[in-house]
Structure 1
Amino acid sequence: MGDLKISSPNNEEKICEIDPIYDIIDYLVRCANISFKNPHYNKAEIRTSEKIQVAYKMYTQSPTQFLIQFGKYLSPNHIEYFQNVEINNTNKDYKACIEQLKLYHSNECKNKRIRNRRYRAMQKLQDTDYFSEKQMMYRNPLLYEQLVGQYMTDEEKLERDGADNENLTFLSMILETVDRNEMRETKNRQMLIEGETSTQTLQDTESTPSQGKRWGDFDVPDTKPNYIPETEKRCMINANERNLLREEFLQEMCSSFIEGRDIDFDYDSVDNNEEYDDLQQMSRDAEDKYFDSEDNDAETLEEHMQHVQEYGRKKSNDSNSDTLDVFMQHISNKLQQS
């Protein structure tokens, strides 16, 4: 794929050292979600070998431009390689790219980016039935029963379960049966887990020696079963309390989604998807960071507000751009001017 560096420290053996840039480019081409288009062939995707050549040529011609183009798609452990190349000590623009990429790939920024993307995805899912009462009941039936179901009347349950009867088909009946069977299995598993937790807590309590026990006393065997499912009982509460419990259930289901606990959801399609970035919020975060930094040298309130207005005008045209992309474009413009 390229030239090899040959070294023979003892003149007895030759050790071939492959520059890690080849592995990094291979990762970008094969693993990262990057589109390489060929403008000469109706913008069709080019072959893998050509992609590698394009990326390597860009790196050899301008490492800074390479980072501008591909930096956000790198793996975090790749950044160390680019930090140790010689240009990092001589080129300010290159060094600025490295610092920005270190921040972008940090665990703190990554976790925040993922949570924000999941929040945006959750907002879009509001237009589907994913957060409908029935679907949430299927995903967490035990919690639903504890917070919502046990307080519903028979008429309300019939209305909930018969909501789709207008468009009822044989296939939908089969799917409904499958969903309900899975829901019962899920609920049984949740009850067993909850029962085991309660049993363990009880055993831990009973293992504590009794203060009043004397020598010669016999232990009284516990004849109670480890776990007895609670019989269904309907508690009457007022409408306001029911609404509060229903809201608590909804909040828990939203938290479950944001925290990645919905086991059947494809989180990779959201966590690695830039379409879910809240670009306006990212722009506001960048502004907050700027005004909290040393670059904001305002000494009076009037000067600070002037900075705010000027910065706001400057960023107004970039409100639909990723802050990292805006920064990289700024570096690219400087390179073209020099």
Structure 2
Amino acid sequence: MPLFPTQPRQLDTMDIDEPQPPARGSPEWARKIRVRNRRKLYLDRHPEYFGPSLELADPLLYDRLVRRFQTAAEREAEGRAKGYTGILEADLMRSEAKLDALAHPDPNSIFQYRRGPNGEILTEENDEIPQTKEEGMARWKWEMELRFVRGDDHDFDYPSVDDNEEWDDRLQEERDRQDAYFAREEPSWAVENGRAVRGETGIQDY
């Protein structure tokens, strides 16, 4: 089984952590679906969003899902991309996040932290953590995609995407309309010589 769900192309059935979601089929519901799909398409077209600076969105999660699998050369290259100030900021935020995790443990987190015998901060992991570099990066992108789609990136200009028709996936919307149309259609049946007969393109019971 996968360690995390496979993200759907359209997000209308995703759980975006809404305690009281709008009624399915309502105008508010349709608006939320359109906004989520616009945000998803934006990410599809801007893979650079998942660059090194995104580490600051959740330093601990990045540390356990991505950084732990990096080679020394990869960390050095990432450090050059961040710059000296970026490295210091990431290290500081990671340390502060670990202290906060110790003081306020989250039972739903896949990682837990505790003090070691010499005062060091140790990580305890459950069975759902990624075991390879590829799994770790995929999980990181999945978590960051959900964060973005929920609207939790407070540094991003969401109205530039949410209110812009440029980010509508026209081909997907047309496929969805066709699927909905055929789902509503009932087969036309005829009776010939006491036998049920389907349309010309269907199976005929002769």
Q: Same fold, TM exceeding 0.5?
A: yes
- Equivalent residue for 1:156? 74
Under a length normalisation based on structure 1, what TM-score does the superposition of the two structures give? 0.39
Give the conservation status (yes or no) of the 8 Å contact 1:120–1:278.
yes
1:15-34 superposed matches below 5 A: none
CA distance in 2, matches of 1:305, 1:125: 44
Equivalent residue letter for 1:190: A
Equivalent residue letter for 1:195: L
Query: Deviation per CA, 1:120-161, whole angstroms, max 9, x where unpaired?
Result: 1001112xx3222x1332333221111221333323312332
Structure 1: which 5+ residue stretches go unaligned? 1-102, 165-174, 202-223, 233-239, 307-338
- Equivalent residue for 1:274? 165
Q: Which runs of 4+ in 1 moved over 6 A?
A: none
Q: Does 1:131 align with 2:20?
A: no
Greater gyration radius: 1
Q: Does 1:197 align with 2:115?
A: no
- Equivalent residue for 1:116? 37
- Equivalent residue for 2:188? 299
Query: Deviation per CA, 1:236-291, whole angstroms, max 9, x where unpaired?
Result: xxxx7232222222222222222222221111211111110111111122222222
CA distance in 2, matches of 1:285, 1:265: 29
Give the conservation status (yes or no) of the 8 Å contact 2:56–2:90.
yes
CA distance in 1, matches of 2:132, 2:187: 52
Give the conservation status (yes or no) of the 8 Å contact 1:148–1:246.
yes
Under a length normalisation based on structure 2, what TM-score does the superposition of the two structures give? 0.61
CA distance in 2, matches of 1:187, 1:152: 16
- Equivalent residue for 2:132? 241
Equivalent residue letter for 1:130: Y
More strand by share: 2
Q: Which moved more, 1:186-195 or 1:246-255?
A: 186-195
Give the conservation status (yes or no) of the 8 Å contact 1:104–1:110.
no
CA distance in 2, matches of 1:193, 1:304: 68
Equivalent residue letter for 1:281: Q
Equivalent residue letter for 1:269: S
Change in Cα spacing, 1:268 to 1:181, as seen in structure 2 (3 Å) is farther
Identity %: 26
Change in Cα spacing, 1:149 to 1:304, as seen in structure 2 (3 Å) is farther
* More relative contact order, 1 or 2 (CA 8 Å, 6+ apart): 2
Give the conservation status (yes or no) of the 8 Å contact 1:139–1:183.
no
CA distance in 2, matches of 1:156, 1:125: 22
Query: Deviation per CA, 1:64-94, whole angstroms, max 9, x where unpaired?
Result: xxxxxxxxxxxxxxxxxxxxxxxxxxxxxxx
Give the conservation status (yes or no) of the 8 Å contact 1:143–1:249.
yes
Give the conservation status (yes or no) of the 8 Å contact 1:138–1:183.
yes
CA distance in 1, matches of 2:176, 2:93: 41
CA distance in 1, matches of 2:34, 2:84: 38
CA distance in 2, matches of 1:304, 1:286: 24
Change in Cα spacing, 1:291 to 1:142, as seen in structure 2 (3 Å) is same
More helix by share: 1
1:1-338 superposed matches below 5 A: 106-126=27-47, 129-132=48-51, 134-162=52-80, 164=81, 176-198=83-105, 230=121, 241-293=132-184, 296-300=185-189, 303=199
Change in Cα spacing, 1:229 to 1:288, as seen in structure 2 (3 Å) is farther
Shift of 1:185: 4.5
Give the conservation status (yes or no) of the 8 Å contact 1:138–1:179.
no
Give the conservation status (yes or no) of the 8 Å contact 1:121–1:276.
yes
RMSD: 3.4
